């Protein structure tokens, strides 16, 4: 196993995955989705999202293409489904009232008891774009762009480092935005939600384009 191959794949996977996961930009989304939770619950959720994200993407790195083939699901299908849910989440954030009643809060707690995996990990943090990047990393390794062992080690380390960053950003989200102030936090949340809305549209449209092109080719 060549150290240069490990370093090369680590650098490539970290850079591409960090840009797609965007832990800094997703921090307001995490804070908005967990605003009804206590501080200790929010901190625990941050660590669980990071752990789930690493597990999900590392499994995708090794087995994702086989799972998609087994179920007859294309990457375009994953992109459309993930994009639609990201769009729904962003729209909910945009139109949500600043304060909810205690009855609404109780309903959200009873319905969404464990939100760490869905929707906080997938599709908000590790969405269709992250899955696509991970599958492309797997494809690069399979093509022999680097030594297989070095490629998988480098890609796994890159994914782990990205989600360490996710854990830190989400863990300290409350402290960061407590210093920013309520008004600025609301503005940042709305802006992030709008950008997330655009991302949802882009991911969905990219999947639709692939399906349309496949129909034309057929």
Q: How many CB atoms lie within 10 A of CB 121?
A: 26
pLDDT at 105: 44
pLDDT at 106: 43
Q: Give the span between the Cα atoms of 178 and 166, in whole angstroms.
A: 19
HSE-CB at 210 with a 13 A cutoff on CA atoms is 12
pLDDT at 165: 96
Q: Give the span between the Cα atoms of 22 and 69, in whole angstroms.
A: 28
pLDDT at 146: 63
pLDDT at 2: 56
pLDDT at 110: 39
Residues of the chain with pLDDT under 70: 1-4, 97-113, 145-146, 218
pLDDT at 73: 82
pLDDT at 107: 40
pLDDT at 170: 96
């Amino acid at each position: 196993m060549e150290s240069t191959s490990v370093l090369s794949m680590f650098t490539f996977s970290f850079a591409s995955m960090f840009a797609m996961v965007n832990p800094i930009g997703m921090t307001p989304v995490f804070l908005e989705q967990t605003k009804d939770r206590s501080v200790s619950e929010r901190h625990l959720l941050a660590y669980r999202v990071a752990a789930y994200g690493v597990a999900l993407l590392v499994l995708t790195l090794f087995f994702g293409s086989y799972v998609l083939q087994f179920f007859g699901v294309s990457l375009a299908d994953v992109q459309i489904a993930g994009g639609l849910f990201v769009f729904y989440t962003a729209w909910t954030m945009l139109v949500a009232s600043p304060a909810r009643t205690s009855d609404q809060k109780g309903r959200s707690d009873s319905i969404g008891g464990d939100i760490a995996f869905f929707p906080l990990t997938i599709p908000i943090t590790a969405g269709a774009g992250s899955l696509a990047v991970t599958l492309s990393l797997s494809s690069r390794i399979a093509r022999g762009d680097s030594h297989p062992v070095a490629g998988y080690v480098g890609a796994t380390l890159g994914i782990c480092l990205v989600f360490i960053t996710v854990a830190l950003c989400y863990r300290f989200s409350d402290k960061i935005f407590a210093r920013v102030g309520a008004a600025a936090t609301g503005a940042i949340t709305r802006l992030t939600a709008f950008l997330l809305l655009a991302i949802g549209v882009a991911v969905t449209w990219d999947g639709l384009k692939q399906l349309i092109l496949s129909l034309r080719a057929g």
